[in-house]
Structures are given as C-alpha cells and as structure tokens.
Amino acid sequence: MVSPAVSHRLSDCFHFPNRYDPDGFTPERAEDRKSPYTLIGFGGGRHRCIGQAFAYQQVKVIWTVLLRQFELELVHQNYEPDYTTNDWL
Ligand code: HEM
C-alpha cells in the first residue's frame, strides 16, 4: 500500500510539502515530474490510471461551471484536517 497523503508531503520531492502550493506544478518548478512516482494521485507503474486525461478534462469543465455560477468563500478560517476515525471517543 502507498499513501498519497504521505508521499505528497515528502520534503525530498516538494519544496513546501505542507502548504497548498500550485506553483510547484508550473513548468519552471515541475516538482511533480522529478520522478514517475512523485505525484501518485492517479497511481503509478503498470496499473496507472488510464483515464487521467479524461479526468482532467472533466475537472476543468466542473470548475468552469462552478466558478461561473457561484461566489466561493472559506467556511472555516485556519482549518486543521482531522485524520482520526475514532469519532466515538
Ligand atoms: C479524478 C479522477 C480519477 C482519479 C483520482 C483516478 C485515480 C486512479 C488510480 C489511483 C488508479 C490506480 C489504481 C491502482 O493502482 O490499483 C486508477 C486506475 C484506473 N483508472 Fe482512474 N482515476 C480517475 C479517473 C478515471 C477515469 C475518468 C477513468 C475512465 C474513464 C479511469 C479509469 C481507470 C482505469 C481503467 C484504471 C485501471 C488501470 C489498470 O489497472 O491498468 N479513471 N485511477
């Protein structure tokens, strides 16, 4: 098993591993292209996602509709993710 949540935060691969940093994917920095396994949201190796190009196309269409029709704002400032699953504790 591999965990994208962990591997996408490796400081060996990403300059600001714990920050939302879309500039890391620009042609100048291209941190996602350091190796075939740096960015694994679509898997990797023999069974890598064959729908990646279609998925990106769909995501662009979805965001185009959302951004045209809605004004988005943050509901929570300084949101901290909660990775626990022990809701009953
Ligand atoms: C954001 C959207 C998507 C994400 C995040 C995603 C992610 C992934 C990942 C991580 C794998 C590898 C699974 C593994 O290693 O066992 C995979 C495999 C696969 N994906 Fe996607 N996928 C997406 C969209 C799509 C779409 C739109 C299609 C088809 C239209 C598709 C078709 C497939 C197929 C057929 C495989 C299996 C490839 C193989 O086993 O050789 N995916 N996907």
pLDDT tens digits for range 47-57:
999 999 999 99
* pTM listed for this prediction: 0.83
pLDDT band of 81, cuts 50, 70, 90:
confident
Which of 37, 40, 49 to probe ligand 1 with, by most ligand atoms within 8 A of CB? Answer: 49
| 35 contacts: CB under 8 Å, gap ≥ 6 | 13
CA 59 to ligand 1 centroid distance, Å: 14
CA 4 to ligand 1 centroid distance, Å: 14
Ligand 1 cavity residues, CB under 6 Å: 41-43, 47, 49-51, 54-55
* pLDDT(88) > 70: no
Hey, what amino acid is at 51?
G
Rounding to the nearest 10 degrees, give the CA dihedral for residues 41, 58, 20, 6: -10
